[in-house]
């Protein structure tokens, strides 16, 4: 996996751009109905919102308060705040809490050297500047420690037979230091909302407020996303031309998710058979019209995303965990299935059954 980092932060610069918020109220949906205070994903049909609108709807546009971290002296009862004894930060608190200004809940605990930020607003502004009115969702994790923004990129691609894939970009960020800000191109299969992964490239952005750099960033993201989409189109067309039988799917499943050893612990057996069962259930749906290697790949990928990585649950928390794994590239079943199928097709292997 390659990571390209664009860092244009000068001394003391910690915001990407100055605040350029453009709050738009009462945005009409595509059918002309005005929807107030609803996230776009809840409307069914909608014109894309600005990032700021989506963020405001889910409460992700909060301000941040920094407060020194200390302790109560066990003898005197005095509140003690440790400070840096020397250097550039001499006298400043050595540790600090990050609080939501609206709820005063703790969303981070950082050293005193951590640069103060205005929450996520500078990131939202930059994303809107890069890709205007393209936001579909903003997902908030926990109390606001982490946030993921989803934006539509370009038009959907028709693979034929009513099968469409849609390029997106996902931007993840955090205030507790667990994520740096990363823009991740992801392609989704619209029929089943399968996230078909990214091509190994992430654009990590630390800081900028330069217009030329914004254009460079935008070009970099589009280039990665379009390259990924083209690769996926080529793979889909190759795999769609390959018929696939139940026997071939079993052969692949035994390689990707081997059956448990005879002396395996019962919990291990249960976990393995649950994964295999999820894949088979997905394959039964995919094979209904015309069973192909492309359908087999989507069965494995979809089962991993929607069933295995969610623990079989449909709660928002489970879906959020699956999203994090997808953005981390933590999809070993889909990756192994892709390698198996491409090897099978591209080397001209004969059908084993």
SS3 readout for the chain: CEEEEEECCCCCCCCCCCCCCCCCCCCECCCCCECCCCCHHHCCCCCCECHHHHHHHCCCCCCEEEEECCEECCCCCCEECCEECCCCCECCECEEEEEECCCCCEEEEEECCCCCCCCCHHHHHHHHHHCCCCEEEEEEECCCCEEEEEEECCCCEECCCCCEEEEEEEEEEECCCCCCCEEEEEEEECCCCEECCCCCEEEEEEECCCHHHHHHHHHHHHHHHHHHHHHHHHHHHHHHCCECCHHHHHHHHHHHCCCCCCCCCHHHHHHHHHHHHHHHHHHHHHCCCCCEHHHHHHHHHHHHHHHHCCCCCCCHHHHHHHHHHHHCCCCHHHHHHHHHHHHHHHCCCCCCC
**Residues 88 and 145 occupy one common structural domain:** no
- What is the pLDDT at residue 275? 94
Residue 219 has pLDDT above 90, yes or no: no
Is residue 223 assigned to a domain?
no
Is residue 154 assigned to a domain?
yes
Residue 196 has pLDDT above 60, yes or no: yes
Is residue 227 assigned to a domain?
no
Is residue 75 assigned to a domain?
yes
Residue 269 has pLDDT above 80, yes or no: yes
**Residues 127 and 77 occupy one common structural domain:** no
- What is the pLDDT at residue 5? 34
Query: How much is the average pLDDT of 84-100?
Result: 83
Highest mean pLDDT (candidates 15-24, 152-161, 167-176, 312-321):
167-176
Least confident of 33-42, 192-201, 289-298: 33-42
Instruction: Please say whether the beta carbons of 323 and 148 come within 8 A.
Output: yes
**Residues 81 and 168 occupy one common structural domain:** no
User: What's phi and psi for 120, nearest 5 deg?
Assistant: -100, 0
Write the pLDDT tens digit of every residue in 62-90: 999 988 888 888 888 888 888 878 878 78
Is residue 136 assigned to a domain?
yes
**Residues 307 and 189 occupy one common structural domain:** no
Is residue 236 assigned to a domain?
no
CA distance 144 to 134: 22
Instruction: Please say whether the beta carbons of 78 and 146 come within 8 A.
Output: no
pLDDT over 70 percentage in the chain:
75
**Residues 159 and 273 occupy one common structural domain:** no
- What is the pLDDT at residue 215? 53
CA distances from 349 to 25, 154, 296, 317, 321 (A): 58, 36, 16, 42, 37
Instruction: Please say whether the beta carbons of 57 and 39 come within 8 A.
Output: yes
**Residues 309 and 250 occupy one common structural domain:** yes
Q: Which residue has the higher pLDDT, 315 or 16?
A: 315
- What is the pLDDT at residue 190? 61
Choose one of 84, 107, 130: the last residue of a domain. 107
Instruction: Please say whether the beta carbons of 83 and 92 come within 8 A.
Output: yes
For residue 109, give both structure tokens: 């605990």
Instruction: State which residues form the domain around 44.
Output: 2-61+118-208
Residue 33 has pLDDT above 60, yes or no: no
**Residues 300 and 247 occupy one common structural domain:** yes
Tell if the pTM clears 0.95, that is, is over it.
Answer: no
Q: Which residue has the higher pLDDT, 287 or 222?
A: 287
Q: Which residue has the higher pLDDT, 305 or 33?
A: 305
Q: What is the CA radius of gyration of the chain?
A: 24
pLDDT category, 282, cuts 50, 70, 90?
very high
Residue 40 has pLDDT above 60, yes or no: no
Domain count, the chain: 3
Count other Cβ atoms within 10 Å, centred on residue 201.
18
For residue 317, give both structure tokens: 């928390």
**Residues 36 and 157 occupy one common structural domain:** yes
Q: Residue count of the chain, please give it.
A: 353
**Residues 171 and 295 occupy one common structural domain:** no
**Residues 327 and 252 occupy one common structural domain:** yes
CA dihedral 320, 130, 225, 197 (to 10 degrees): -10
CA distance 111 to 171: 25
For residue 289, give both structure tokens: 């019209």
- Across all residues in the chain, what is the average pLDDT? 76
Is residue 352 assigned to a domain?
no
Write the pLDDT tens digit of every residue in 117-157: 778 998 898 889 888 999 999 999 999 999 999 998 877 77
**Residues 139 and 202 occupy one common structural domain:** yes
pLDDT category, 244, cuts 50, 70, 90?
very high
CA distance 314 to 48: 26
Least confident of 28-32, 65-69, 240-244, 341-345: 28-32
Choose one of 107, 138, 164: the last residue of a domain. 107
pLDDT category, 348, cuts 50, 70, 90?
low
Is residue 81 assigned to a domain?
yes
Residue 48 has pLDDT above 90, yes or no: no
**Residues 126 and 176 occupy one common structural domain:** yes
């Amino acid at each position: 996996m390659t990571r390209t980092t664009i860092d244009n932060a000068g001394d003391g610069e910690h915001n990407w751009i100055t605040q350029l918020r453009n709050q738009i109220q009462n945005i009409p949906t595509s059918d002309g109905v005005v929807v107030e205070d609803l996230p776009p994903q809840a409307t069914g049909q909608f014109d894309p919102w600005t990032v700021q609108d989506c963020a405001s709807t889910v409460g992700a546009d909060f301000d941040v308060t920094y407060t020194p971290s200390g302790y109560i002296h066990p003898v005197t009862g005095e509140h003690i705040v440790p400070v840096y004894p020397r250097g550039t930060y001499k006298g400043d608190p050595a540790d600090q809490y990050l609080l939501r200004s609206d709820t005063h809940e703790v969303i981070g605990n950082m050293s005193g050297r951590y640069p103060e930020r205005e929450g996520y607003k500078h990131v939202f502004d930059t994303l809107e500047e890069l890709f205007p009115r393209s936001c579909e969702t903003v997902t908030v994790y926990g109390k606001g420690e982490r946030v993921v923004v989803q934006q539509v990129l370009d038009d959907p691609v028709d693979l034929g037979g009513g099968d469409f894939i849609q390029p997106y970009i996902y931007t993840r960020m955090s205030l507790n230091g667990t994520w740096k800000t990363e823009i991740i191109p992801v392609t989704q299969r619209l029929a089943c909302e399968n996230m078909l992964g990214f091509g190994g490239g992430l654009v990590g952005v630390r800081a900028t407020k330069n217009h030329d750099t914004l254009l460079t960033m935008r070009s970099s993201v589009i280039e990665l996303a379009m390259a990924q989409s083209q690769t996926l189109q080529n793979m889909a067309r190759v795999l769609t031309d390959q018929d696939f039988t139940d026997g071939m799917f079993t052969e692949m499943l035994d390689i990707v998710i081997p059956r448990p050893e005879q002396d395996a612990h019962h919990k291990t057996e249960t976990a393995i058979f649950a994964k295999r069962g999820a894949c088979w259930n997905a394959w039964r749906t995919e094979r209904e019209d015309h069973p192909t290697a492309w359908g087999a790949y989507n069965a494995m990928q979809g089962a991993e995303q929607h069933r295995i990585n969610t623990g079989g649950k449909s709660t928002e928390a489970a879906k959020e965990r699956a999203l994090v794994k997808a953005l981390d590239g933590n999809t070993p079943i889909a990756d192994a299935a892709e390698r198996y199928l491409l090897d099978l097709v591209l080397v001209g292997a004969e059908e084993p059954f």
